[in-house]
A and B are shown apart, each in its own frame.
Chain A
Amino acid sequence: MASTIRVRATSSGKTTEVQALIQHPMDSGYVKDAKGDLIPPHFIQELTFEYDGKSVFVADWGPAVSKDPYVKFSFKGGKKGDDLKISWVDNKGATDTTTAKIQ
Chain B
Amino acid sequence: MNVRSAIHVASAALALAALCFGAVPPAVAADTPDPVADARAFQKFFTDKFPKVKLADFVNGPYSMNEDMHRQWEEKEQFPPYDFSLDLGKEMFEKPFRNGKGYADCFPDKGVGIRQNYPYFDEKEGKVVTLELALNRCREANGEAPFSYVKDEMAALTAYMAFTSRGKPFDIKIPNDPRALQAYQNGKRYFYTRRGQLNFSCASCHVQNPGERIRAEVLAPALGILNAMPIYRSEWGGMGTVSRRFTTCNSQIRGVPLEPQADEYRDLEYYLSYVSNGLPISGPGARP
Partners in one complex: yes
Which residues of A approach B to under 8 Å, CB–CB?
A: 2, 6, 8, 19, 21, 23, 66-68, 70
Instruction: Using known A-B contacts A6-B79, A8-B78, A70-B79, determine if residue A23 contacts B84 with beta carbons closer than 8 Å.
Output: yes
Which B residues are in CB contact (< 8 Å) with A6? 79, 83
- Chain A, Cβ-Cβ closest to B81: A68
Instruction: Using known A-B contacts A66-B237, A67-B237, determine if residue A2 contacts B79 with beta carbons closer than 8 Å.
Output: no
Considering the chains assembled together, what is the distance between the CA atoms of A68 and B286 in angstroms? 13
Contact B79 A68 (CB under 8 A): no
Contact B83 A21 (CB under 8 A): yes
Interface centre among B78, B79, B234, B237 (most CB of A within 10 A): B79
Considering the chains assembled together, what is the distance between the CA atoms of A6 and B83 in angstroms? 9
- B76 to chain A minimum Cβ distance, whole angstroms, is 8
- B259 contacts the other chain (CB 8 A): no
Considering the chains assembled together, what is the distance between the CA atoms of A71 and B264 in angstroms? 42
Contact B87 A21 (CB under 8 A): no
- B151 to chain A minimum Cβ distance, whole angstroms, is 13
Q: Known pairs A68-B81, A70-B79. 17 more at Cβ < 8 A?
A: A2-B87, A6-B83, A8-B78, A8-B79, A19-B78, A19-B79, A21-B79, A21-B81, A21-B83, A21-B84, A23-B84, A66-B234, A66-B237, A67-B237, A67-B238, A68-B84, A70-B81
Considering the chains assembled together, what is the distance between the CA atoms of A8 and B238 in angstroms? 22
- Chain A, Cβ-Cβ closest to B76: A70
